[in-house]
Chains A and B, each alone.
Chain A
C-alpha cells in the first residue's frame, strides 16, 4: 500500500534546465497556489486560528458574554491551589503510566506468541475486535461491567478475590484504574498489530544464526528479537503516550469525571471548566498546559530514545 512510503518519500528536485520555464509553466506555478489554497484556508481558519485564540484566551477571564479581561498568569497559578486540578494531574499521570506499560506489554506478548504459528490470525481476532469500538462504545460496555454489583464484582467474588464489594466507578483511585483496564482491553490488539508488522520486517538471518547457536524461547526473544524491535517499540510507546495524555471520551461517558471530580483527566477538566462552568479563559489555560505537556513529554521521550540508540551503536 502506498501509505507505507508516506514518511520516507521526499519531493524530487526539479530536473536540470527547470529554470527555463516557458510562459505556460509559469502560469502553472501560479496555478499551484490556487491548488493549495483550499487546504491552507481550511487548516488556517479552523485549526491555526482557534489554536492561537486559545493561547490568547488563556491569559484572560472570559465568561463568553462580556469581553475577555486580561488577568496575566492567574489562570496558570490556579494549577497550584485548585484541588480538582491536582487530582486531574494525578489521574492523567496514572493514565500515562498505565497505558504506556500494560497495553503495550500485552500487545507485544500477543504479537510474539502469535507470530509465525498456524492459526495466528484466528487467535489474534479476539484482541482485534475491541479496537474498532469508539471511546463512547467502549465506555458503554465497561460502564455496564464495572457498575456496582456488576460483572467485575461477580468475577472477583467467584474467585474469592478482594474487591468483590468495591464500587469500581465510584471509589478513588479505583475508577481511574478500572478505566485503564477497559482501555487495555481495547488497545492491546492494535499494539499487537503494530508489533506484528515490526516482526515481519525483521531480517531472518540474525534469528536463524541465533537459533543455530542454540538460543530459543526467552533468550532468543531477549537478546535478538527485542533489540531488533526497539525502533518500533519507540513508535508504539510514543503513540500510547500522546493518546493517554489526551484521554477524554471514555472518562466522560463512564463517569463524567466523577463522582465529584475525582476521576477527571486534564482533557475532562478542560471541557468541564469551559463548557459546563463557562470559564473559557481558565479552560483555555488547562488546554494550553495539556498541549505543552504533550509536546514536552513527546520531545523528551524521543530524544532519550535517540540517545540510547546512539549509545548502543
Chain B
C-alpha cells in the first residue's frame, strides 16, 4: 500500500508538466497570460495555435520531409543492413567478423565528429539543404544497428534453408529477397520502429545540413519557432511541440518493449 502511495504521488508530480503543456497548448493564443498558466481556459484554441505555428515555421512541408526521412531512411538502412548480415552469416563472407566490426564501429563516435566534414562536403557536393542529402546521412547512421540485429537474426535461421534453395537452383539474390527477408520481418520491423523515432527526433543533422523550410526536419523547425526571436506566443510554441511529439509518443506507447531492448543495442 505504501508502495502504491509513493508511486502515485511521484506519478502525479510527473504529470504536472504534462498538465501545464496541455492546458496552455489548448489555450487561445490571445488569452495567454503568464500569471494564469495553471487555470484551463474555457475556449478551445489548439487548432488555431497549430495553424499559427504551421504558418510561422512552415510546419507543413517540414512534416512531410521528416516523414520521408524517418520512413525511407530506416527502411533503406534495414534492407542494406540485412544484406550485410546475409553476406556475413549465410554467404560466409571471408573475415566476416571483421567486416561486421567495421560496420558496427560506425556507431561508436559521437555525431559531433561527423558534422563539420559533412557540412563542408555537402556544401561542395551540392547536397547541402537538399532532401537526398538528408536521406543519405540518416540512412548511413541507421545502418550499423540494422546490421547488428540482422546478423544475429540470420544466425538463428537454419542453414539448410539456404542449401535447399541453392540445390533447387534459386539465385542468391532471389533467396535473400524471397526467403530471408520475409522471414525476418519481425526483426526488421523492430529496427525500423527504433530508427523511425531516432530520425524523427533528430535535431543536430537538421540544424547543420539543412536550412530552408521545405527541407529542414521538424525538430529544427521547432527549435527555430521556440527561439526568442520568432515572435510566437507560448501557446503556439507549446501546441507545435505537442503535435510534433505525437508520432513518437504513439509509436513508443505501442512498442515499449522494443524500445527497452533497443536501448542496450546502440546509441539510442
Contacts and interface: CB of A to CB of B under 8 A. Distances in A.
B237 interface: yes
Contact of A42 (B140, B245, B267): B140
B84 A47 contact: no
A9 B156 contact: yes
Interface in A257-278: 267, 270-271, 274-275
A123 B4 contact: yes
Contacts of B244: 134, 137
A216 to B, nearest CB: 12
B110 A287 contact: yes
Contact of A2 (B16, B109, B121, B186): B186
Interface stretch (A71-79, A87-95, A245-253): A245-253
Contact residues of B: prevailing secondary structure: helix
A1 to B, nearest CB: 6
B264 to A, nearest CB: 6
Interface residues of B, number: 114
Contacts of B93: 29, 32-33, 35-36
B261 to A, nearest CB: 5
Interface in A215-260: 235, 239, 242, 245-246, 248-249, 252-253, 256
A87 B38 CA distance: 35
A239 B152 contact: no
Interface in B185-211: 186-187, 190-191, 197, 200-201, 203-204, 207-208
B106 A48 contact: yes
Nearest to B162: A28
B110 A246 contact: yes
Contacts of B20: 141, 144-145, 151
A131 B252 contact: yes
B194 to A, nearest CB: 9
A1 B87 contact: no
Contacts of A123: 4, 7-8, 11
B241 interface: yes
A68 to B, nearest CB: 10
A85 interface: no
Contact of B87 (A4, A33, A45): A33
B201 to A, nearest CB: 3
Given A42-B143, A134-B200, A253 B263 contact: no
Most chain A CB inside 10 Å of its own CB: which residue of B37, B166, B200, B251: B37
A28 B90 CA distance: 10
B109 A291 contact: yes
B203 to A, nearest CB: 5
B226 interface: yes
B248 A133 contact: yes
Q: Which of A10, A46, A242, A271 has the most CB of B within 10 A?
A: A46
A38 B80 contact: yes
B88 to A, nearest CB: 7
Contact of B137 (A14, A33, A46, A109): A46
A207 B241 CA distance: 45
Contacts of B179: none
B116 A284 contact: yes
23 contacts: A2-B187, A3-B149, A28-B91, A29-B94, A36-B83, A38-B83, A39-B84, A46-B114, A47-B106, A113-B3, A123-B11, A135-B203, A136-B201, A136-B241, A137-B201, A144-B238, A145-B17, A194-B264, A239-B263, A252-B223, A274-B119, A275-B207, A280-B120
